[in-house]
């Protein structure tokens, strides 16, 4: 091996292959060093060796690594294989990079240009390459196309302040110290209450995020449906019938609703006002990561973490730009025309690009920007392999969003008619697209549907064919889904574009939430209630948001990471002191949730048999089915009743007038329904 080559460190093996192909013109030679693939080539008389990490090859831990020990405030960076036996490949890659570094005269960090990529490259240059983190050059690119990669290596810059790397390392240290101390405190408290050890974690961003979910969960569980009535009419003109809703959306009593029906039946309706208008609907802004994750959830049901994984595969395939971006802006430097020409070579988009190229290419721009990367966009490259179903779906979504951002505004015609039947008013409305504009390019993702415009003019008289009265119930609050929770995290400014999806996945994996609607489990509720009681800053947003802002200041050089670490340690120490002082109470709170078989936290009512116990919802450990049982079961009361296995059960706080068993609402399907839980209730046999 000859000395004096340039060693290029990439973040992933696929990226290393693309870098070497781009710089060598496809003439690079694949080699094996220590069982790891590397690429060698010459460029303009200079020898290059390109190698890759595979994610983080170094991680933060405490020297003792004993899960029973806390508080832990001294942390160090270690090779990942020492922290996780499953990371054995890390030792091999670190050894290879160390060997290659010994023969290199120049170093280039070509990891992804964001906080995580900077941290990965910095650590390898510092630890595996013998302190080259300050001497290395930086290659910055947003796509893995040959054109962008060649341009990036012709414009290599020294890594001066390295704010991204310092902020990334600080974030890892803070999150480790936060998570390991609080998780050990909670887990040890549960162990102290008499049961075996089980990890109960609460991270710096996990805490407030779980707090959002718990607050919404309480709103859902405490919601009591209040009935109201809706009135609608069926009207006819020249043999054509259409429906109109009553002007008042909610009628508070059934009697009032029935009175409206009686007043209107058999009477003629008159169109007293017809309002027609048109509205412009502007094109959607280009995708940043959060927007892409939310849209993929809406369109395909993909979780945020899955969407990110798919987008990263498309990026490594040079099909889309770097996905971990906050930007909603497309600068001219990405070469609109070149991308359009490339997309036009893909059959299903050819007609669209031909149309768009007839006018000036000027995309709509969003408000959010990112100094490192533009909005997510296609590169103009055609797939060189068959994409799987999910990859093809996300690629199509990105391409169509890019095309739509260059399209003109859509125009929609709207009409609203007011009908009077005596002293009562009904309204009907409709709308149709008169110019699709950008929606033509966005296709099925646009989501607008035509509603037939009413063929009625002012002064027309119509026959009242019928009036319907329908009982409705107030809409209970919706639980968060993964997309709406991601949006909440973005709005509140906690987590980062790169970490939010993983945080949501962690809450699911820990058993704090379950299901598509992210229903909080008893364990999740108990963790929040206990922590909020004794260490409220862990669940509140204030401290977490403050740390995020200071991490941003580290990125820009406005604050040192050492100061931030010391401030964080003091804040955590204060919270740990409260948890430790109340260890027994904390342990009982956590342990009761771990051992609980109760499916709901509310009491349905008093037991009509023993008169002293409470009837609760219980879930069988054997069958997993829920039923009603008495809290005095251990004392001999055998009161029990079956329950529907689907739908949410809500107490009415009322006893059945026939048997004194609780009456509940079953929430599910199109409307809630009342149920006396007693299967032998005499009232159920009444005609």
Whether residues 388 and 529 fall in one domain: no
Q: Is the pLDDT of residue 670 over 60?
A: no
Look-up: residue for tokens 């900077």? 118
Predicted local confidence at residue 599, as pLDDT: 39
Count of beta carbons in the 10 Å neighbourhood of residue 63: 11
The CATH number of whichever domain residue 440 belongs to comes to 2.70.20.10
Whether residues 313 and 330 fall in one domain: yes
Whether residues 9 and 149 fall in one domain: yes
Stretch 569-590: mean pLDDT, rounded?
Answer: 79
Report how far residue 558's alpha carbon sits from residue 509's, in angstroms, rounded to the nearest whole number.
36
Report how far residue 129's alpha carbon sits from residue 98's, in angstroms, rounded to the nearest whole number.
6
Whether residues 91 and 142 fall in one domain: yes
Helical (H) or strand (E) element with 673: strand 673-676
The CATH number of whichever domain residue 332 belongs to comes to 1.10.290.10
Q: Is 475 helix (H, G, I), strand (E, B) or coil?
A: coil
Is 529 a member of any domain?
Answer: yes
Stretch 231-248: mean pLDDT, rounded?
Answer: 93
Q: Is the pLDDT of residue 595 over 60?
A: no
Of 63-72, 351-360, 455-464, least confident by mean pLDDT is 63-72
Percent of the chain residues topping a pLDDT of 90: 54
The CATH number of whichever domain residue 76 belongs to comes to 3.40.50.140
Predicted local confidence at residue 238, as pLDDT: 87
User: Do 406 and 356 form a contact (C-beta atoms < 8 A)?
Assistant: yes
Whether residues 464 and 601 fall in one domain: no
Is 303 a member of any domain?
Answer: yes
DSSP per-residue string spanning 298-363: HHH---HHHHHHHHHHHHHTTSB--S--------GGG-HHHHHHHHHTSGGGHHHHHHHTTS----
Q: Which residues pair with 30 in a beta bridge?
A: 39
User: Do 20 and 39 form a contact (C-beta atoms < 8 A)?
Assistant: yes
User: Do 405 and 437 form a contact (C-beta atoms < 8 A)?
Assistant: no
Is 438 a member of any domain?
Answer: yes
Whether residues 426 and 400 fall in one domain: no
Please choose, from the candidates 233, 160, 204, 238, the residue with its C-alpha nearest in 3D space to the C-alpha of residue 494: 204
CA distances from 540 to 137, 181, 212, 220, 478 (A): 41, 17, 9, 20, 22
List the 648-655 sheet strands across, edge first.
648-655, 662-667, 673-676
Indicate if 5 belongs to the active site: no
Is 65 a member of any domain?
Answer: yes
Give per-residue burial for 496-524: e unless 16+ CB within 10 Å, then b. Answer: bbbbbbebbebbeebebbeeeebbbbbbb
Q: Which residues pair with 33 in a beta bridge?
A: 36
Stretch 131-154: mean pLDDT, rounded?
Answer: 95
- 162: tokens are 């390295």
Whether residues 128 and 205 fall in one domain: no
Predicted local confidence at residue 448, as pLDDT: 87
Whether residues 433 and 338 fall in one domain: no
Whether residues 495 and 455 fall in one domain: no
196: phi then psi, degrees, rounded to nearest 5: -65, 160
Is 284 a member of any domain?
Answer: no
Report how far residue 200's alpha carbon sits from residue 595's, in angstroms, rounded to the nearest whole number.
13
Please choose, from the candidates 191, 202, 193, 69, the residue with its C-alpha nearest in 3D space to the C-alpha of residue 529: 202
Number of domains in the chain: 5
Q: What is the pLDDT of residues 387-417, one digit of tens each?
A: 999 999 999 999 999 999 999 999 999 999 9
Predicted local confidence at residue 668, as pLDDT: 59
Instruction: Work out the pLDDT band at 649, boundaries 50, 70, 90.
Output: confident
- 184: tokens are 């050990």
Non-local (6+) Cβ contacts of 636 within 8 A are none
Helical (H) or strand (E) element with 260: helix 254-264
629: phi then psi, degrees, rounded to nearest 5: -140, 160
Stretch 609-622: mean pLDDT, rounded?
Answer: 80
Q: Which domain holds residue 319?
A: 289-405
Stretch 218-238: mean pLDDT, rounded?
Answer: 91
| Options 322, 349, 442, 665, the catalytic residue | 322
Q: What is the pLDDT of residues 423-473, one digit of tens each?
A: 999 999 999 999 999 999 999 999 888 888 778 899 999 999 999 999 998
Q: Is 271 helix (H, G, I), strand (E, B) or coil?
A: strand
- 271: tokens are 């169109």
Whether residues 235 and 200 fall in one domain: no
Instruction: Work out the pLDDT band at 68, boundaries 50, 70, 90.
Output: low
The CATH number of whichever domain residue 568 belongs to comes to 1.10.460.10
Report how far residue 323's alpha carbon sits from residue 318's, in angstroms, rounded to the nearest whole number.
12
- The residue from 405, 429, 450 where one domain ends is 405
Whether residues 207 and 255 fall in one domain: no
Predicted local confidence at residue 598, as pLDDT: 38
Look-up: residue for tokens 């609109």? 336
- The residue from 558, 592, 626 where one domain ends is 592
Predicted local confidence at residue 42, as pLDDT: 95
- The residue from 563, 592, 621 where one domain ends is 592
DSSP per-residue string spanning 171-232: HHHHHHHHHHHHHHHHHHHHHHTTS--------TTHHHHHHHHHHHHHHHHH----EEEEEE
Whether residues 202 and 272 fall in one domain: no
Q: Is the pLDDT of residue 62 over 70?
A: yes
């Amino acid at each position: 091996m000859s000395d004096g080559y340039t060693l290029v460190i990439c973040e992933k093996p696929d990226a290393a292959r693309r870098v070497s192909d781009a710089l060598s013109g496809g003439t690079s030679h694949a080699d094996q060093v220590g069982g790891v693939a590397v690429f060698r080539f010459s460029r303009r008389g200079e020898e290059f060796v390109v190698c890759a990490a595979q994610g983080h090859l170094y991680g933060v831990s405490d020297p003792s690594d004993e899960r029973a020990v806390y508080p832990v405030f001294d942390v160090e960076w270690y090779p990942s294989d020492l922290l996780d036996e499953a990371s054995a490949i890390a030792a091999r890659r670190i050894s290879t990079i160390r060997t290659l570094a010994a023969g290199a005269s120049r170093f280039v960090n070509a990891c992804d240009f964001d906080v995580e990529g900077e941290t990965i490259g910095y650590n390898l240059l510092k630890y595996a390459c013998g302190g080259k983190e300050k001497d290395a050059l930086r290659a910055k690119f947003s796509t893995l196309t040959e054109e962008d990669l060649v341009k990036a290596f012709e414009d290599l810059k020294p890594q001066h302040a390295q704010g991204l790397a310092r902020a990334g390392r600080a974030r890892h240290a803070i999150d480790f110290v936060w998570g390991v101390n609080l998780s050990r405190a909670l887990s040890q408290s549960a162990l102290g209450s008499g049961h075996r050890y089980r990890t109960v974690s609460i991270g710096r961003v996990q805490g407030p995020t779980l707090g959002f979910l718990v607050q919404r969960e309480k709103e859902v569980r405490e919601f009591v449906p209040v009935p109201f009535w809706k009135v609608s009419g069926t009207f006819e003109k020249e043999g054509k019938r259409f429906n109109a809703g009553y002007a008042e959306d909610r009628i508070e009593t059934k009697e009032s609703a029935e009175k409206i029906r009686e007043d209107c039946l058999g009477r003629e309706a008159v169109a007293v006002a017809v309002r027609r208008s048109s509205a412009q609907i502007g094109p959607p802004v280009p995708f940043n990561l959060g927007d892409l994750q939310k849209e993929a959830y809406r369109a395909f049901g993909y979780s945020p973490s899955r969407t990110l994984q798919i987008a990263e595969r498309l990026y490594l395939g040079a099909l889309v730009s770097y996905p971990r971006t906050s930007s909603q802006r497309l600068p001219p430097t990405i070469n609109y025309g070149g991308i359009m020409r490339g997309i036009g070579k893909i059959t299903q988009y050819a007609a669209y690009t031909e149309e768009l190229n007839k006018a000036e290419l000027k995309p709509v721009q969003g408000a959010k920007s990112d100094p490192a990367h533009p909005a997510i966009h296609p590169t103009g490259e055609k797939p060189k392999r068959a994409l799987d179903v999910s990859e093809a779906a996300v690629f199509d979504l990105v391409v169509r969003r890019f095309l739509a951002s260059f399209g003109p505004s859509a125009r929609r015609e709207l009409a609203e008619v007011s009908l009077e039947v005596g002293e009562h008013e009904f309204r009907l409305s409709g709308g149709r697209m008169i110019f699709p504009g950008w929606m033509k390019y966005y296709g099925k993702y646009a989501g607008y549907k035509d509603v037939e415009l009413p063929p009625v003019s002012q002064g027309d008289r119509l026959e009242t064919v019928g009036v319907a009265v329908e009982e409705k119930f107030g809409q209970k609050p919706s639980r968060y889904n993964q997309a709406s929770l991601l949006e909440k995290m973005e709005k509140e400014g906690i987590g980062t574009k790169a970490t939010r999806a993983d945080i949501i996945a962690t809450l699911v994996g820990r058993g704090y939430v379950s299901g598509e609607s992210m229903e909080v489990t008893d364990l999740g509720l108990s963790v929040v209630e206990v922590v909020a009681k004794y260490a409220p800053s862990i669940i509140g947003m204030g401290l977490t948001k403050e740390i995020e802002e200071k991490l941003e200041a580290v990125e820009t050089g406005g604050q040192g990471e050492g100061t931030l670490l010391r401030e964080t340690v003091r804040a955590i120490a204060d919270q740990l002191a409260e948890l430790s002082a109340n260890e027994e109470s904390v342990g009982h709170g956590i342990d009761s949730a771990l051992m609980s078989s109760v499916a709901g936290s509310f009491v349905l009512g008093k037991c009509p048999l023993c008169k002293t116990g409470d009837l609760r919802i219980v879930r069988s450990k054997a069958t997993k089915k829920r039923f009603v049982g008495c809290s005095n079961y251990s004392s001999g009361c055998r009161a029990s009743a079956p329950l529907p296995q689907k739908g949410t059960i809500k107490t009415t706080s009322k006893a059945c007038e026939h048997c004194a068993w609780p009456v509940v609402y079953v929430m599910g399907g199109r409307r809630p329904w009342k149920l006396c839980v007693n299967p032998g209730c005499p009232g159920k046999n009444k005609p």
